[in-house]
Structure 1
Amino acid sequence: GAEKYAADDKKRREIIEEVNRVESILHDTETKMEEFKSQLPQDEYQKLKEGSNKLREQLSNKDNISLQSIKESADEFQRQSLRLFEMAYKK
Structure 2
Amino acid sequence: MDTEEQRSFLHRGRRVTISHWTDAGKIYVRAEIHQGNTLVCVLSRSGIVERAPRLIAGLHNAAIKWAEHDAAVSKRPGQPWPLRPGFTTRPAPR
> Into which bin does the TM-score normalised by the smaller protein fall?
0.3 to 0.5
| TM-score normalised by structure 1 residue count | 0.37
Task: Give the number of the structure whose alpha-carbon radius of gyration is greater.
Answer: 2
- Structure with bigger helix share is 1
| TM-score normalised by structure 2 residue count | 0.36
